[in-house]
Amino acid sequence: MIAIPAIDIRGGACVQLVGGSFDDERVRIPDPCAVMHRWVEAGFRRVHVVDLDAALGTGDNAGPVQALLADGRARVQVGGGIRTAERADQLLAAGAAHVVVATRAIEDPHWLGELAGRHPHRLIVALDVRGRTVVTHGWARRSALQVDDAIAALDGLALGGVLVTAVHAEGRLDGADVPLVERVASRTPLPVIGAGGIATTGDLRSLASAGAAAAVIGMALYTGALDPRAVQEEFHE
């Protein structure tokens, strides 16, 4: 299993939220590129970038995202508000290793199938989950889908993986929802990326044992709960 630092962008800055709440912003760093350099210097080769404003539909951070892609020091997977094929095409052409699609992928399976056919193994589908229910639109809306149904809908698609985020645990440093990740990994042959609540190397080891191919880490790295160099040394590509 590999570890991937998160770079969540809001209003041009790198931030960390608690419990998926935009009203509970715990970390703010003005320069996302400086943050990426920090993770690269610690040894990470991949970063997970999310445009939170685009995800919520309140704007976008296209400039900072483009700067991260142009930097070239790390492989970048980009998500947040990618709801058109044109935007996915643009990001891949700009150098994204993968694009992460969520809301429209959940609501429009035909669109997802066509996009996956055009960019095989370059899309990651994000399942953002509260409890066991999928939420969309920047974690603001509860869908009618349970996580098992959402996973079943991905069968046969040429995807690069599935990212399952325990939104109820996000940013709280209370521990990963290992049973959730294990459940998803047992139901799909796709690489599974776990996220949400990761606080210790024990959490990372548990996710690896549960079948995760990767884990996205946010708050624990930004607050110093986890030593980035130690994490990278144990969970590297």
Residues forming a β-bridge with 130 = 133
- The pLDDT tens digits of the residues spanning 101-126 come to 998 999 999 999 999 999 999 999 99
Kindly report the number of other CB atoms within 10 A of residue 203's CB atom: 23
**51 strand-pairing partners:** 9
Residue 177 is among the residues annotated as catalytic for this protein: no
Q: What is the pLDDT, as a whole number, of residue 169? A: 77
Predicted confidence (pLDDT) at residue 51 exceeds the cutoff of 90 = yes
Strand bridging mode 98-101 / 141-146? unpaired
- Say whether pLDDT at 142 is over 80: no
Confidence of residue 237 (pLDDT cuts 50, 70, 90): confident
Q: Tokens standing for 146? A: 């349970």
Please indicate whether residue 227 is annotated as part of the active site.
no
The pLDDT of residue 167: 83
Cα 8 from chain centroid (whole Å): 9
Catalytic residue among 8, 51, 53, 177: 8
Say which of 71, 89, 108, 128 is annotated catalytic.
128
Q: 3-state class of 166 per DSSP?
A: strand
| pLDDT the model gives residue 141 | 74
Q: For residue 216, what are the β-bridge partners?
A: 4, 195
Domain ranges of the chain: 2-234
Dist. CA 72–CA 27, nearest whole Å: 25
CATH H-level superfamily of 2-234: Aldolase class I (3.20.20.70)
Give residue 174's pLDDT band: very low, low, confident or very high (50, 70, 90).
confident
CB 202 within 8 A of CB 176: no
